[in-house]
Amino acid sequence: MADGHSNRAAGATIAGFDYQFDHAIVQILDARASDRFEVEGKEDLDFFGDSSKRAIQVKYHESGKYTGPKGLRDPLVMMLKDFDQADSWQYVLHLRFGSGEVPERLSLGDLRTALVRRDRELGEEVRDHPEWDDALLLEFSKRLTIARGSTFESQQHDVIQRLKMTFSCSEDEARILHLPRARDFVRTKARQSDIAARGVTKPELTSALSVVDRLYGLWHSDKAGAESFLRTQIALLKRMQYSDRKKHRAILLRPKMEELDLVVELCEVLTASYLAGLSNAKPWLLAIDAEKSFMTNLKIRLIRDEIAFNDGYEEISLSTTALRRPPVLHVKANSRISDASYALKVITLGSLSSYSHTGGRVARLIDASGGVPYDLGDSFATQTMHLVDFNQENINRIVGEIL
């Protein structure tokens, strides 16, 4: 039961992130070229127009019911902490509840109600932040608008239609090719440590999505079949030099427990490819977001199959230095590898994050995690390709054909 609850919670969290990113994409694509946005500024998304400033906070509670102002206490407190009566900011609370009637405005009385909570120790109701007087709350209520958010699917549809119009492409192409890249663009902006780097305009977004080496590639204007799309992905990965053994390359996976055999097969393929290369080849790095038992069973299988791997001693105490250390090679007269101290790097997602934040870098990253939020720093990968809606069997096939 605990695992099921954890999985549902993780799924809701991921959906909440994507809902926030999708709303940002809609706002940016609907804006004028001169308008500017800041991701994760005062709020989730800040808007700077020619004569107005707007701070937008997005909350997604599809499984929840709106029952009154008290349910908005946390986001309201976050906004009020930054509120200054002397500035000209307008505020928007973009809310999605599964049920209940969400109001468009909050009165002074509603704000007072929202700030009252029951103190369990005292056994009575107390008012949070009594320093916020009625004059401040009244002014805030005048500047606050509540936007009733649509469902996840409806908002995603809106994003797809805007991408379709912007790039004059088919709906399938907008959904499968452009949507993941647009979300990744906004996600990357949100992760920037320098607030100045979180800024974006509509021309910047559309330009970033139009760069050839960041697209999945243009394919059939009509709906493509699964096999056609698969072949397109393989061709594009080859064109983007994911086949280059001299480059540091990595794969990010989020496999299911029952896919252990397939992940072992992938490790075997990656290992064989490396050992068939020249002495200047680089081993693949495979980072996995999975339960500890999955990682333990995977490494046991690799040891049994005599696949030498480097995990930076993560089971004991991760050493990013050891992880970066190149394998010791035995090389034939023709410079081909005959043996190596290890032929593959296998680590957890947590270790990958530590590796990236201590200077670890790759030239090519295949993100087949299915949209897991993670922080790998600002420049971990020179180029990233997202494999969307592929099962582990197809991921193995794609990787196998580019080696």
DSSP 346-381: EEEHHHHHHHHHTT--EEEEEEESSS------SSSE
pLDDT digits 0-9 by tens, 57-106: 999 999 899 999 999 999 999 999 999 998 999 999 999 999 999 999 99
pLDDT digits 0-9 by tens, 114-146: 999 888 888 888 898 999 999 999 999 999 999
Question: What pLDDT is attached to residue 150?
Answer: 95
**Cβ contact 21:184 at 8 Å:** no
Is residue 257 classed as helix, strand or coil in its secondary structure? helix
Question: What pLDDT is attached to residue 123?
Answer: 81
Report how far residue 242's alpha carbon sits from residue 250's, in angstroms, rounded to the nearest whole number: 10
Residue 216: pLDDT band (50, 70, 90) is very low
Residue 33: pLDDT band (50, 70, 90) is very high
Report how far residue 365's alpha carbon sits from residue 223's, in angstroms, rounded to the nearest whole number: 27
Q: Name the residue type at position 48.
A: F
Question: What pLDDT is attached to residue 174?
Answer: 80
Return the structure tokens found at 117. 């909570």
Average pLDDT over residues 223-243: 75
pLDDT digits 0-9 by tens, 326-353: 999 999 999 999 999 999 999 999 999 9
Residue 9: pLDDT band (50, 70, 90) is very low
Question: What pLDDT is attached to residue 372?
Answer: 57
Average pLDDT over residues 209-223: 43
Burial of residue 120 (number of CB atoms within 10 Å: 0-12, 13-18, 19+): exposed
pLDDT digits 0-9 by tens, 381-397: 888 888 776 889 999 99
Residue with tokens 């549902």: 8
**Cβ contact 352:312 at 8 Å:** no
Question: What pLDDT is attached to residue 218?
Answer: 36
pLDDT digits 0-9 by tens, 156-214: 999 999 999 998 877 767 887 788 889 989 999 998 989 999 999 999 999 888 753 33
Mean pLDDT, rounded, of the chain: 88
Question: What pLDDT is attached to residue 225?
Answer: 57
User: In sequence order, what are the beta bridge partners of 59?
Assistant: 95
Q: pLDDT: is 228 or 317 the higher one?
A: 317
In Å, what is the CA distance from 300 to each residue of 158, 237, 305?
47, 31, 9
**Cβ contact 372:19 at 8 Å:** no
**Cβ contact 242:282 at 8 Å:** no
CB atoms within 10 A of CB 80: 19
Average pLDDT over residues 367-381: 74
Average pLDDT over residues 250-269: 95
In Å, what is the CA distance from 162 to each residue of 22, 56, 104, 168?
11, 20, 25, 10
Question: What pLDDT is attached to residue 5?
Answer: 46
**Cβ contact 108:134 at 8 Å:** yes
Least confident of 241-245, 259-263, 359-363, 374-378: 374-378
Return the structure tokens found at 325. 């250390």
Q: Name the residue type at position 316.
A: I
Backbone angle region of 225, left / alpha / beta, with phi > 0 → left and psi within -120 to 50 → alpha: beta
Least confident of 149-158, 261-270, 366-375: 366-375
Average pLDDT over residues 256-272: 96
Question: What pLDDT is attached to residue 374?
Answer: 67
**Cβ contact 82:136 at 8 Å:** no
